[in-house]
Amino acid sequence: MLDKDDITNVEKEYGADQIQILEGLEAVRKRPGMYIGTTSLRGLHHLVYEIVDNSVDEALAGYCDTITVTINKDNSVTVTDNGRGIPVGINHKAGIPAVEVVFTVLHAGGKFGGGGYKVSGGLHGVGASVVNALSNWLEVRIYNEGHVYMQRYERGHAIEPLKIIEDCEKDKTGTTVTFMPDDTIFEETVFDFDTLKQRLREMAFLTKNLRIVLRDLRGEEVNEREFHYAGGIREFVTYLNKSKTPLYEDVIYFEGIRENVYVEVAMQHNDSYNESVYSFVNNINTPEGGTHLTGYRNAITKTFNDYARNAKLLKEKDQNLSGDDIREGLTAIISVKIEEPQFEGQTKQKLGNSEARTAVESLVSEQLTWYLEQNPTVAKLICEKSILAQRAREAARKARELTRRKTALDGMALPGKLADCSEKDPEKCEIFIVEGDSAGGSAKTARSRATQAILPLRGKILNVEKARLDKVFSNAEIKAMITAFGTGIHEDFDISKLRYNKIIIMTDADVDGAHIATLMLTFIYRFMPDLIKEGHVYLAQPPLYKLEKNKKVWYAYSDDELNGILAEVGRDSNNKIQRYKGLGEMDADQLWETTMDPESRILLKVTMDEETNSELDLTFTTLMGDKVEPRREFIEENARFVKNLDI
Ligand code: TTJ
């Protein structure tokens, strides 16, 4: 194979050697999926990452500090770096300039990495020649020793020898590549700014001090974003914890090389109960983890237990903290750079190298032990949070076993406040979850006893996003809902045991009511999401106004509707308009007529887009978390899920 010793600056020759080379790239055009995974939009963007990876390598080697990615007006993309420039000298074995080898020989890209860590390759590790093969045209310019070298390729073929096209400042060095993706290969060839922005930001986080500029020239105005993080993954952790409350100020950070593996770890706990740990290998995300993640987990579990024992935070009789306990509320980035990553598993996304495990484990154990000794206040905060997590987990387990046993032994121990219906066929039954005891009273009087059950709940129900499981299970309101529905929760969930075909949330038509409805939906979504998926969950629609004229009555469910009715019947002083502030202001008959009568009521079905499942997950957390700002954004953006909640 080629290496950089083969590259010299002898006169450029343009020989016949390349015939075979060109055949190599034909394979890429025949089966693009084999090299870039897919020819969808995702594959299209992958082309950019493949090129950028080369510049990132140069940055990692210490010779480049700025990379610019430009989406040009014609939708071609230009990547520029200020590194040393791809070598232009003739490669002896190939008989052509090294740069031409880089762009026309399959798998040749990385061999010019110039020492350090060969990290490029993106998802598939195939490099610049594949991008070239899949482009209508590609041009490379190299700035070196006062000259600008240029070569142009079309569909992977060099159409001319590498040549000097002009002169430049003596000390300017770098590489510029512009390519136009082949529209006969890609399903779509229009680049998406936000997709590139996301990945380039991640790359900047993962390579501290590297400046990455993304520029879009297609619109009327230039759209530009710059990413530059002196703190690298430390700032990544700060970014991820942005909408949370950190448990302590420091982002704990470790770095080092073990067994030829470069290891970087940044971590900080927040006061939530969720773990957000992301791992990377050679700047590529490994959602399925692997040996590097295992090494990290082993290290923190052992180190925190040792520390807690030594500091007597854990007493002799106490059980060891579990990994889950320690990772409660933990945000962390584990990034390793490794020369020959081996990927395993069904999707080949799980790191398999055993030296990555031992490297991360020993480095983190060593440096974390030292850190905890130096920072006893932080150490104590983490240990105390973990010990609380341990207790809560234990309590939750007991509470859960108790509810399981209960439902198993005495069948239906229905909640006392439930006014059940007499019909036994769940298909025909519905349950109203009603905000407040007084509205609950009216609803009990108003209902159709045979098929409608009423469960009044008191005040604001527990926010399950902000409470540990033990608290959730001991909450009376939540226990009442679980037993009334009959399905059980989480892994015990069994939809065939559902006691009502419709679960109808009925709250006041005001801000508080909307908030309470959201809390109930959050609970259902987190504990029995299938109820939503299967379309069993509804929101009742109580009216906002009652209008009376000449012994006739109208109800309006919005201001628009009210104005519409007024326009029709006349806005004179014989109009009597009543503004309902809450369900409690309606008598039983009105409640029945306007909100509960299946013949005349309006119900909103709560739906969930299966495809955006995970996104929904996130929006729910945002909505129910502590910080006000992200919540407002959520509400503004997602009126779609909870259709009528304009909080
Ligand atoms: C290799 O070792 C000798 C000095 O130059 C090293 C090198 O190749 N550096 C380099 C390659 N910097 N930037 C690139 C590069 C940039 C782009 C945009 C595309 C490609 C394929 C390589």
In this structure, the residues whose C-beta lies within 6 A of any atom of ligand 1 are 4, 51, 54-55, 58, 79, 81, 83-87, 102, 112, 114, 128, 175, 177
Structural contact between residues 582 and 590, judged by C-beta atoms closer than 8 angstroms = no
Other beta carbons within 10 angstroms of residue 218's beta carbon come to: 14
- Centre of ligand 1 to C-alpha 76, Å, is 20
DSSP string, 263-306: EEEEEEEBSSS--EEEEEETTEE-TT-BHHHHHHHHHHHHHHHH
Interval 401-411: pLDDT, tens? 766 655 544 45
* DSSP bridge partners of 176: 80, 141
* Rounded Cα–Cα distance for residues 197 and 646 (Å): 31
645: which residues sit within 8 A by CB, 6+ positions away?
514, 517, 518, 635, 639
Is residue 227 predicted with pLDDT exceeding 90? yes
Q: Which residues of 512-537 are buried (b: 16+ CB within 10 A; e: fewer)?
A: ebbbbbbbbbbbbbbbbbebbeeebb
Interval 253-302: pLDDT, tens? 999 999 999 999 999 999 988 889 999 999 998 989 999 999 999 999 99
Is residue 8 predicted with pLDDT exceeding 50? no
* Rounded Cα–Cα distance for residues 46 and 546 (Å): 59
* DSSP bridge partners of 548: 553, 576
The mean pLDDT of 433-457, rounded to a whole number, is: 93
Tokens representing 225 are 């974003």
The mean pLDDT of 457-465, rounded to a whole number, is: 82
Interval 146-180: pLDDT, tens? 999 999 999 999 999 999 999 999 999 999 999 99
Look at residue 17 in the predicted model and tell me its pLDDT: 47
**Mutation to probe ligand 1, out of 48, 56, 81 (largest number of atoms < 8 A from CB):** 81
Is residue 9 predicted with pLDDT exceeding 60? no
Ligand 1 atom closest to Cα of 128? 21
* Rounded Cα–Cα distance for residues 61 and 63 (Å): 6
When mean pLDDT is compared over 73-82, 87-96, 610-619, the highest value belongs to 73-82
Is residue 11 predicted with pLDDT exceeding 70? no
Q: Which residues of 631-642 are buried (b: 16+ CB within 10 A; e: fewer)?
A: beebbeebeebb
Among the listed residues 87, 114, 112, the one whose alpha carbon sits nearest the alpha carbon of residue 10: 87
Shortest-distance Cα residue to atom 8 of ligand 1: 86
Structural contact between residues 55 and 140, judged by C-beta atoms closer than 8 angstroms = no
* Rounded Cα–Cα distance for residues 472 and 480 (Å): 12
Q: Given the DSSP bridges, would you call strands 135-144 and 252-258 parallel, antiparallel or unpaired?
A: unpaired
Shortest-distance Cα residue to atom 20 of ligand 1: 54
Structural contact between residues 321 and 305, judged by C-beta atoms closer than 8 angstroms = yes
Look at residue 551 in the predicted model and tell me its pLDDT: 87
* Rounded Cα–Cα distance for residues 464 and 524 (Å): 10
Is residue 424 predicted with pLDDT exceeding 70? yes
The mean pLDDT of 475-493, rounded to a whole number, is: 88
The mean pLDDT of 58-65, rounded to a whole number, is: 94
Q: Which residue has the tokens 């959730």?
A: 472
Ligand 1 atom closest to Cα of 64? 12
Residue 153 carries which DSSP code?
E
Q: Given the DSSP bridges, would you call strands 545-549 and 552-556 parallel, antiparallel or unpaired?
A: antiparallel
* Rounded Cα–Cα distance for residues 180 and 159 (Å): 15
Structural contact between residues 333 and 255, judged by C-beta atoms closer than 8 angstroms = no
More confident residue, 628 or 645: 628
Shortest-distance Cα residue to atom 22 of ligand 1: 54
* Rounded Cα–Cα distance for residues 524 and 433 (Å): 12
Shortest-distance Cα residue to atom 16 of ligand 1: 55
If you average pLDDT over every residue of the chain, what do you get?
Answer: 85
Interval 194-207: pLDDT, tens? 999 999 999 999 99
Interval 361-408: pLDDT, tens? 999 999 999 999 999 999 999 999 999 999 988 888 877 776 665 554
Interval 143-155: pLDDT, tens? 999 999 999 999 9
Look at residue 23 in the predicted model and tell me its pLDDT: 56
Structural contact between residues 430 and 501, judged by C-beta atoms closer than 8 angstroms = yes
Interval 186-196: pLDDT, tens? 999 999 999 99
Look at residue 250 in the predicted model and tell me its pLDDT: 95
Is residue 72 predicted with pLDDT exceeding 60? yes
**Mutation to probe ligand 1, out of 3, 86, 142 (largest number of atoms < 8 A from CB):** 86
State whether the Cα torsion 165-170-172-173 is positive or negative: positive
Interval 318-335: pLDDT, tens? 999 999 999 999 999 999
Look at residue 405 in the predicted model and tell me its pLDDT: 57
Active site residues: 435, 508, 510, 512
pTM over 0.75: no
* Rounded Cα–Cα distance for residues 274 and 327 (Å): 8
